[in-house]
């Protein structure tokens, strides 16, 4: 692979302007970070003020750094990290995140395999301090979160970089095209781009990426395995969803503001025909749980939070009908209890979320019109009959009622959804091969 190009003098001017704006905007950036509870914990480390890696000793073995923004991205790369560690057993792996929830995934699911650090803010001095501390041989990042100064600093140090599971939403692409003279330099500082779809490949090339540096590998989320059986967790979840035992349950996953109100409205309509139906809401951001509780009460229901349910409250749970999953990392296991699943971020213009997790369980998947982040997967789900896209409350009610009424249809739709996942597996293997093509592996023992 050809070495990445250094920025031209004109490109340097763009970086200088970007860094100036970043410096002027530091007070606002800090205000936003401290205002968000999920981003607050790592602010000092992100500023380079302190770090748990300050005493890191470089022993000469390869150091691989992978960045995943938050919990969803961190969950997605867990299988990849294990594969990388298998391929490079002597390597030391760091996984960086921005949020505390992402950190928790790394600490809980990659303990002994990878170490956590918070991504440094995109200031050259802070970046250099981190690089001087951990000495990475390669940097990989997920889902096209572009940090110009970080990528440029890595390029100048001849440290190869790889975009993993890359995607470009229409909103991001349109925004980047408006500043294409700058973004072309940013994109060209990436050594290798492994994109989810042909649309993503075309968009990266339109932004200035060289054709040979961009490949389509698919989505590694299709290669995620079902949760490992955990009897204690399943028992605890069984208590929480106890009201659904023998009843149908609608699981609304990763919901955003504006979606819960629509779902509660539809739920009221469904109760007229299906009086034992249980609704479980899983808000995408847990700092909204109190807001969701208030909304549920405004619809004349009593909310039941997962964190407030114990074995002693099992009988009380059976009398309730709207549950709130207010925990991190349990949603994939909850899908096994669902009759039908709504995937959030799709009724409001967010762009949709992971369709693969409920599909793996063979559950019928419904979603709204805003699926730009996962458009190709949504199209495949609809074309196969494994996913149902709705555009109005009436449409949502009619399709949900049809699935609840007809068990054979539910099985048929759920099986089609599971088959879409199976048909699109292999992205993990392709990503690992792309990683090998980027790294100098001549002196490494590689197992694929």
pLDDT of residue 10: 57
The region of weakest confidence among 40-44, 123-127, 128-132, 257-261 is 40-44
pLDDT at 324 over 90: yes
Return the number of other C-beta atoms located less than 10 Å from residue 276's C-beta.
12
CA distances from 50 to 93, 97, 122, 315 (A): 20, 16, 16, 48
Pair 66, 431: CB distance under 8 Å = no
Hey, how many other C-beta atoms are within 10 angstroms of the C-beta on 265? 13
Q: What is the pLDDT of residue 232?
A: 75
Please report, rounded to a whole number, the percentage of residues in the chain having pLDDT higher than 90. 73
What average pLDDT score do residues 58-70 get? 85
What is the model's pLDDT at position 132? 92
Q: Which two tokens stand for residue 359?
A: 């599909």
Whole-number mean pLDDT of the chain?
A: 89
pLDDT in tens, 211-228: 999 999 999 999 988 877
Count CB atoms within 10 A of the CB of residue 447: 8
What pLDDT score does 448 carry?
37
Q: Is the pLDDT higher at 50 or at 301?
A: 301
The reply to whether domains 35-219+426-438 and 231-423 share a CATH topology is yes
What's the pLDDT at 441? 43
Mind listing the pLDDT tens digit for each residue in 140-197?
A: 999 888 999 999 999 999 999 999 999 999 999 999 999 999 999 999 999 999 999 9
Which segment of 82-86, 364-368, 403-407 scores lowest on mean pLDDT? 82-86
Query: What's the confidence (pLDDT) of residue 158?
Result: 94
Helices (H), 25-94: 26-35, 37-40, 43-46, 71-87
Strand segments, DSSP code E, in 351-441 are 365-367, 387-389
pLDDT of 3 reads: 47
Report d(CA 250, CA 295) in Å as an integer: 18
Q: Which helix (H) or strand (E) holds 153?
A: helix 148-156
What tens digit of pLDDT does each residue of 225-269 get?
Answer: 887 777 777 777 877 876 566 789 999 999 999 999 999 999 999
Per-residue pLDDT tens for 398-438?
999 999 999 999 999 999 999 999 999 999 999 999 988 88
Q: Which CATH class is domain 231-423?
A: alpha beta
Q: Where are the domains of the chain?
A: 35-219+426-438, 231-423
E strands, 98-160, are 115-118, 138-142
Task: Work out the percent of the chain whose per-residue pLDDT is above 70.
Answer: 90
Pick the CATH number of 35-219+426-438 from 3.40.50.11720, 3.40.190.10, 1.10.630.10, 3.40.640.10: 3.40.50.11720
Integer Cα distance of 345 and 351 in angstroms: 6
- pLDDT of 443: 41
For residues 306-312, give the mean pLDDT: 71
Residue owning tokens 């419904």:
366
What is the per-residue pLDDT for 312?
Answer: 46
């Amino acid at each position: 692979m050809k070495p990445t190009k250094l920025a031209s003098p004109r490109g340097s001017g763009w970086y200088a302007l970007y860094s100036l704006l970043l410096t002027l905007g530091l007070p606002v950036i800090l205000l936003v970070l401290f205002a968000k509870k999920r981003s607050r914990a790592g602010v000092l480390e992100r500023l380079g003020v302190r770090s748990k890696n300050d005493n890191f000793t470089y022993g000469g073995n390869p150091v691989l750094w992978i960045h995943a923004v938050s919990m969803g991205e961190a969950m997605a790369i867990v299988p990849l990290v294990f594969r990388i560690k298998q391929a490079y057993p002597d390597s030391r792996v760091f996984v960086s995140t921005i949020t505390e929830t992402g950190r928790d995934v790394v600490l809980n699911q990659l303990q002994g395999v990878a170490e956590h650090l918070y991504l440094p803010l995109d200031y050259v001095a802070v970046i250099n301090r981190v690089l001087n501390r951990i000495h990475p041989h390669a940097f990989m990042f997920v889902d096209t979160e572009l940090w110009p100064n970080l990528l440029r600093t890595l390029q100048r140090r001849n440290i190869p970089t790889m975009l993993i599971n890359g995607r470009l939403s229409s909103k991001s692409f349109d925004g980047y095209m408006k500043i294409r003279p700058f973004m072309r330099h940013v994109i060209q500082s990436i050594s290798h781009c492994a994109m989810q779809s042909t649309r993503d490949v075309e968009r990266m090339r339109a932004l200035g990426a060289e054709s040979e540096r961009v490949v389509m590998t698919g989505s590694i989320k299709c290669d995620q395995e079902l949760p490992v059986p955990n009897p204690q967790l399943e028992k605890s979840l069984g208590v929480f969803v106890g009201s659904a035992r023998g009843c149908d349950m609608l699981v609304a996953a990763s919901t955003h503001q504006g979606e819960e109100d629509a779902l509660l409205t539809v739920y009221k309509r469904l109760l007229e025909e299906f009086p034992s139906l249980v609704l479980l809401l899983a808000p995408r951001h847990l700092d909204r749980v109190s807001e969701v509780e208030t909304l549920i009460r405004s619809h004349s229901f009593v909310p039941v939070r997962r964190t407030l349910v114990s074995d002693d409250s099992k009988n009380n749970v059976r009398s309730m009908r709207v549950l709130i999953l207010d925990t991190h990392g349990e949603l994939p296991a909850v899908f096994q209890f669902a009759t039908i699943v709504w995937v959030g971020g799709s009724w409001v213009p967010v762009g949709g979320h992971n369709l693969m997790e409920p599909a793996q369980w063979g559950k019928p998947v419904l979603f709204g019109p805003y699926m730009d982040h996962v458009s190709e997967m949504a199209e495949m789900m609809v074309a196969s009959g494994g996913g149902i896209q709705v555009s109005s409350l009436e449409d949502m009610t009619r399709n949900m009622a049809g699935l609840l009424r007809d068990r054979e249809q539910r099985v048929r739709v759920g099986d089609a959804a599971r088959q879409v996942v199976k048909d699109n597996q292999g992205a993990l293997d392709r990503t690992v091969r792309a990683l090998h093509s980027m790294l100098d592996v001549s002196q490494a023992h590689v197992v694929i």
